[in-house]
Amino acid sequence: MIATLHRWTRRNLFANATDSVLSMLVLALLVWLAATLLQWVIWDADWQGIYESLRLLLTGLYPAEEIWRAWLTLAILCTAIGALLLPRFRRFAVAIWLTACGVAVFVLAPPGLDRWGGLLLSIMLTVVVSTASLPLGILLAFGRCSRNPSLRACCTGYIEVMRSVPLILVVYWIWITVPLFMPDASISSLARGMAGFTIFNAAYVAEYVRSGFQAVPRGQLEAARSLGMSDWTVATEIVLPQAIRVVQPALVGNVLDVFNGATLVFIIGLTDFLRAGQMVLADPAASNQTNEIYLFLFAVYFVVGSAITFGARRMEAHMHRSTR
């Protein structure tokens, strides 16, 4: 490994005199920045406000006596993700993930969906919306490629409308109109927000999947039909697996967009992770800890985003190995 690192360093950083000088300058600058940041983090920063507000940042207004539900949910989701990374469980990936999501929502629901907040809200919104928008997006992609003119027109219109308006407008519109159409139903703001996120992101998932359809060689489709396979069999067993493999990076990017876009739920009165940090800063006792709060938010967003990317790369590498 040391020899490999040495070859990489020599090839990429010190290949010639110019590269060597630039590499030394950049490395010196990075070391100075890292040392300055580390000194501030250890000696100068005041982390007391974050420690005292940690429950608000992580779970928002979720009842303190029910916090065990959040920890149990985290354990369920981590167990499901760990199982999906094991090759022998991947054939049951859909069933495992849907079961984990259902149990997680069931565990967290009793105190009320609108009590969710902080990092808990951001993660659960990402999990639910990403899980729900994928099958809906796949159906929309199939509909847009359908031979039925009416179905194709409806799916195309839906996709184009959703892609032409901002997410915040869709979320706010769903939040307002649902009580108007169903005045007798008591639907929480979070459920309406999740619905808005889902129908918006499904349109983008549909376009990603449709681009994957176009990457499948037409000769495979013709060969499958010549063998007497039905359109449904061709679509689900030949086209869809290859399309998902091709567009997996785009789908992972969509998951990250949902996580980062969860901040928009503030418009319907919910407290996401970023909003919880702003609430901490609104306290006069913590008003002088702006740098500490935003550094903490940045670090958490970075860790969660990196974890999603790492898991996706593991799955992508496995999918590529399985096709060799």
3 state SS for the chain:
CHHHHHHHHHHHCCCCHHHHHHHHHHHHHHHHHHHHHHHHHHHHCCCHHHHHCHHHHHHCCCCHHHHHHHHHHHHHHHHHHHHHCCHHHHHHHHHHHHHHHHHHHHHHCCCCHHHCEHHHHHHHHHHHHHHHHHHHHHHHHHHHCCCCHHHHHHHHHHHHHHHHCCHHHHHHHHHHHHHHHCCCCCCCHHHHHHHHHHHHHHHHHHHHHHHHHHHCCHHHHHHHHHCCCCHHHHHHHHHHHHHHHHHHHHHHHHHHHHHHHHHHHHHHCCEEHHHHHHHHHHCHHHCCCHHHHHHHHHHHHHHHHHHHHHHHHHHHHHHHHHCC
- How far apart are the C-alpha atoms of 297 and 318, rounded to whole Å? 32
Long-range contacts of 95-104 (CB under 8 A, 24+ apart): 97/131, 98/131, 100/76, 101/127, 101/128, 101/131, 103/76, 104/73, 104/76, 104/77
The position carrying tokens 């990402």 is 126
Q: What confidence tens digit (pLDDT) does each residue in 5-60 have?
A: 767 777 777 777 777 788 888 888 989 998 998 888 888 888 888 888 888 899 98
Q: Token pair 């639907």 is at which residue? A: 187
pLDDT, tens digit (0-9, with 9 covering 90-100), for 194-217: 999 999 999 999 999 998 888 888
How far is it, in rounded angstroms, from Cα 243 to Cα 237?
A: 11
Lowest pLDDT segment from 98-112, 267-281, 309-323: 309-323
- Binning pLDDT at 50, 70 and 90, where does residue 125 land? very high
For residue 115, count other CB atoms closer than 10 A to its CB.
Answer: 21
97, 80 Cβ separation under 8 angstroms: yes
The rounded mean pLDDT for the chain is: 85
In the prediction, which pLDDT does 319 show?
62
Q: What is the pTM of this model?
A: 0.86
For helices 118-144 and 189-215, the axis angle rounded to 10 degrees is 40
Q: What is the pLDDT of residue 228?
A: 77
